[in-house]
A = this chain, B = another copy of it.
Amino acid sequence: MTAVYSFALGTGTQNSKGEWLEVFYPSPQLGASQKVIDILKSVLWYAGGNEVLAATQEQMRVLAEQFSVAGEGDLAKTAMKLSASRQPLVATVLINDEKPTTAPEVYLKLHLLSHRLVKPHTTTLDGMFGLLLNVAWTNEGAIDINELAERQLQARVEGRLLEVMSVDKFPKMANYVVPKGVRIAHTARVRLGAYLGEGTTIMHEGFVNFNAGTEGTAMIEGRISAGVFVGESSDLGGGCSTMGTLSGGNAVVISVGKECLIGANAGIGIPLGDRCTVEAGLYITAGSIVQLIDADGKLADKVKARDLAGKSDLLFRRNSINGAIEVLTNKSAIELNHELHAHN
């Protein structure tokens, strides 16, 4: 009996050297039955370990038949569908969650995140950047950046526009999967590998990087940097900022708890607990000295903002008379506008 971390059938794009630019896995899954593994051994000579198995159209049809016989109806359906593709086909097996060693493995893990099969920070992505090529994402699919100029000229000459939407190592999520119960007003701002909880709305000014996202219901009009996870029923105002783990200067992973409200154009350089509010336009950096105000409105203490990391029920504001950053206990529960969350 072989324990399996993840398995998926896919089709992808390679450059003229046969290197992978991207892989689309329509139905990735955690785990796989022994029968599935045995079929892979028999049809694709799977020899164990984490492996990306190339498959011909004919092999994919055989997989479909054998999956069907083995009672793996969903896999059979996907395999049958994919077998019609003229683009390269793969069956990717991850026995364990070790760091990826090929682009198709990275893509599988990014799919697991965006399909909500694993949460941010729970799958190993170490070294992924070096495995991904810089790709031109176009209306004619993924194109190797070194092959772009010729393709653009060729398209022009043939009277077509080759629309280059992005030049990046990561594609946009929505061209791979749109999980249930979300709205994404502008898909160019959510990378594959984002985790969007059910009930999340990403407005036009919202942004979500990979390995980051929202637990559940959320109204996101600000930027969720790589590694940042936002709790249930929190609201990120327009243009607000969360410092990413990639942005240097801070080894602490930023997160936002439940029922928080970060105001428009505000920002945080510390993790927030639950029911915290940051006033619109105020940026809290880890090194900011903030004044603790007690229930009587008196100054109780001065601390660095980083000392408040992860604490709940705080309200951050800048005193508009004396310019000091103050923190109060947030008595008013955040009342999320239900009309807003249901619709907007």
Contacts and interface: CB of A to CB of B under 8 A. Distances in A.
A95 interface: no
Interface string A149-164: 1001110111101111
A162 B41 CA distance: 33
Interface string A121-161: 00000000110001010111100010011001110111101
Given A241-B264, A264-B283, 13 more contacts: A81-B153, A85-B159, A141-B161, A164-B172, A166-B185, A167-B178, A186-B189, A205-B207, A225-B238, A237-B241, A246-B339, A279-B285, A281-B285
A87 B156 contact: yes
A336 interface: yes
Contacts of A153: 26, 78, 81-82
Contacts of A238: 223, 225, 241
A246 B204 contact: no
B159 A164 contact: no
A245 to B, nearest CB: 10
A243 interface: yes
A46 to B, nearest CB: 23
A225 B238 CA distance: 10
Contacts of A81: 153-154, 157
A226 B344 CA distance: 9
Contact of A281 (B134, B162, B267, B342): B267
Contacts of A241: 237-239, 264-265, 280
A247 B145 contact: no
A266 B290 CA distance: 19
A170 B203 CA distance: 11
Contacts of A158: 84
B321 A321 contact: no
A168 B139 contact: no
Interface residues of A, number: 100
Contacts of A288: 320
24 contacts: A81-B157, A84-B158, A85-B159, A129-B344, A136-B174, A138-B161, A162-B175, A164-B172, A164-B187, A188-B188, A205-B207, A223-B239, A226-B344, A239-B265, A241-B265, A241-B280, A243-B264, A246-B339, A246-B340, A267-B280, A280-B285, A281-B283, A282-B283, A321-B325
A183 B137 CA distance: 11
Given A26-B149, A265-B265, A325 B320 contact: yes
A285 B166 CA distance: 33
A265 B290 contact: no
Given A243-B264, A340-B246, A174 B167 contact: yes
